[in-house]
Amino acid sequence: MKIAHISDTHFPQIIKESFDRSIKKINNSDIEFVIHTGDLVDRGYLREYEEAIQSFSKLKKPIIFVPGNHDGKNVGLKLFENFIGPLNGVKEGKDYVVIYLNSVIPDMNEGRISNSSFLWLKETLRGHLDKEIKIVCFHHHLVPVPNTGRERNVLFNSGDVLDLLLKYGVNLVLNGHKHYPNVYKLEDLVIVNAGTMCSIKTRLGDKNSFNIIEIDDKIKVKTLRFGEIREREYERKKERIYNVNSEKLFRIVQIAGTCIDNSDIFNKKMFLNAFKKISTLNPDFIVHCGDIVNEGLNKNYTLAAKYLKTPIFFVPGPRDINYLGYNLFPKYFDFIETHVTKKVAFKFLNSCQYDSDIGVIGRGELDRIKQFSRIPSEFKAIVLHHNLLPIENTREKGLLEDAGDILYELTRLKIDLVLTGHSSHPSARKIENTLVVNANSLSCKRQRNLFGNSFNIIDVYKDFIYVSEIQSLSGSRHVLGIWKRKI
């Protein structure tokens, strides 16, 4: 199976040479069909749709059009339906299904999969479980994309959408929107972003491009920038065989969201039970991923210092540095940048900004991460508060402002483990060769997990990593996953 993935043509703001060359390349290939992941036009005007449809009459292959945010400007989605057809739909073959859906909020750059579309997607996936290849397409990006500036347009409910796609064994997701090509494998899901095929709106001085995707026992993604070709290749299913006799190297207990204060926001019983359980687990390291106190006030830090006497590595969360916390955090808790042993090296990052929930790392810190990656340690871990990947049951407010660039570099550098603590919900996902684990609130009443307040255990073996969630009150265990290590 071979398809072309194009996006963000933005008629009439096109480079005609790029459009004609792309169409000719596709017409002269053995591609079965084409998927356009949105922003067919630039402002949603009638004359733009007329020009775009006329131009695409040159294409001799079947094509699926998905609406983008620019298509929905000026009541443009009605024109989209008039010229093209339904906003959601299904293309089905003998062994494959392509499900495409609308992520547009009219006249806004942000996107979401609406409740009705989410339920429709779930039922459609459930009705096609027999298909060997499952492809889902929508305009807005599912995970942060590098070289695209400030992260602000990932789907509002991308965590829930990602969780659904993984549960139903989707093989491939196609997105546009960011005008920059990128490919990730997240668990067994290959996530492909297209650049702009012919628009003048390129990023980083990039060239116009489109993707050719071939699916057999592997998923092969070829990005055709004019003048160069980049290829990525992934096995469709990861190996799930683990050596149970593998040597255990170390254990990390990961906590977040203690939110210590004298109000009922802080559940003291939950906190004490959790630390009683932690004391029996014999961890080699305890890592606190932020929001130690509920508010950055002296009385809260005094109380936190009393409760948190166990040796712990700390990074701050937004609650820790609001009000007086910017000065109190370093007074009460040591913040070290690195901790290195023969088996593991930790890099601790302060992703917080004073009096703001928005997180950022920045270029200077990114340079220090690159230096850290050269430390001769068997296993490297990064610790911060804000999220790098979308978290289910949340609206994506916890993502780093520069998540696209940071995520790209951490995966490129093959950092083994990233620990985060925003959004009050546990999560563990492997993207490329980097495992990203988020901690729930340990003792704060503001949490989103039906399992209740919890903390994580990360057991690192020579051949695999085993992550489980422990309920703060009862101590019951929930396995988040097992991942094979690439040594």
Whether residue 42 contacts residue 217, with contact meaning beta carbons closer than 8 Å, is answered with: no
pLDDT at 88 over 80: yes
Mean pLDDT within 331-353: 95
Which pLDDT score, from 0 to 100, does residue 245 have? 84
Token couple for 96: 């494959």
Name the DSSP class of 12: T
Is the separation of the CB atoms in 202 and 226 below 8 Å? Answer: no
Mean pLDDT of the chain: 95
Q: In whole angstroms, give the CA distance from residue 277 to residue 295.
A: 26
Is the confidence at residue 438, as pLDDT, over 80? Answer: yes
DSSP annotation of 349:
-
Rounded to whole angstroms, the Cα distance separating 339 from 346 reads 5
Indicate the pLDDT class of residue 204, thresholds 50, 70 and 90: confident
Instruction: Check residue 86 and give its pLDDT.
Output: 98
Q: Over pLDDT 70: what percentage of the chain?
A: 99
pLDDT in tens, 155-173: 999 999 999 999 999 999 9
Token pair of 50, please? Answer: 């007329």
pLDDT at 396 over 80: no
- Residue 338 banded pLDDT, cuts 50, 70, 90: very high
Burial 76-113 (b: 16+ CB within 10 A, else e): bbebbeebbeebbbeeeeeebbbbbbbbbeeeeeebbb
Q: What is the pLDDT of residues 103-151, one digit of tens each?
A: 999 999 999 999 999 999 999 999 999 999 999 999 999 999 999 888 7
Res. 90 pLDDT band, cuts 50 70 90 = very high
What residues contact 71, with CB distance under 8 A and at least 6 apart? 38, 39, 40, 41, 44, 77, 80, 104
Distance, CA of 390 to CA of 398 (rounded, Å): 8
pLDDT at 408 over 70: yes
pLDDT at 250 over 70: yes
SS3 category, 470: strand
Q: How many Å apart are CA 391 and CA 162, to the nearest integer?
A: 9
Q: What is the mean pLDDT of residues 335-339?
A: 95
* Cα end-to-end span (Å), the chain: 33
Q: Which residues contact 341 (CB under 8 A, 6 or more apart)?
A: 377
* Residues pairing with 133 in the sheet: 96
Whether 5 contacts 213, CB under 8 Å: yes
Q: Which helix (H) or strand (E) element contains residue 114?
A: none
Q: 65: pLDDT confidence band, cut at 50, 70 and 90?
A: very high
* C-alpha dist (Å) from residue 471 to 23, 273, 275, 335, 438: 55, 10, 11, 27, 15
Instruction: Enter the tokens of residue 275.
Output: 């630390």
Q: 2-235 with 248-484: one CATH topology?
A: yes
pLDDT in tens, 275-306: 999 999 999 999 999 999 999 999 999 999 99
Q: What are phi and psi of 21, to 5 degrees?
A: -65, -40
For β-strands 248-255 and 454-461, DSSP reports them as: antiparallel
What integer pLDDT is reported at residue 242 of this predicted model?
73
Backbone angles phi, psi at 300, to 5 degrees: -70, -40
Domain residue spans in the chain? 2-235, 248-484
Class of the domain covering 2-235: alpha beta
Instruction: Answer yes or no: is pLDDT of 39 > 90.
Output: yes
Contact 439, 308 (CB under 8 A): no
Residues 175, 78, 109: CA angle, nearest 5 degrees: 40
Measured distance CA(287)–CA(420) in Å, rounded:
10
* Number of neighbouring beta carbons within 10 Å of residue 51: 15
Phi and psi at 297, nearest 5°, equal -110, 155
> Domain 248-484 - what CATH class?
alpha beta
Give the distance from CA 423 to its chain's centroid.
13
DSSP bridge pairs for 232: 221
Q: What is the pLDDT of residue 363?
A: 94
Q: What percent of the chain has pLDDT over 90?
A: 89
- 50-61, pLDDT tens digit by residue? 999 999 999 999
What pLDDT shows up at residue 244? 75
Identify how many contiguous H helices and E strands the chain contains and give both numbers. 11, 24
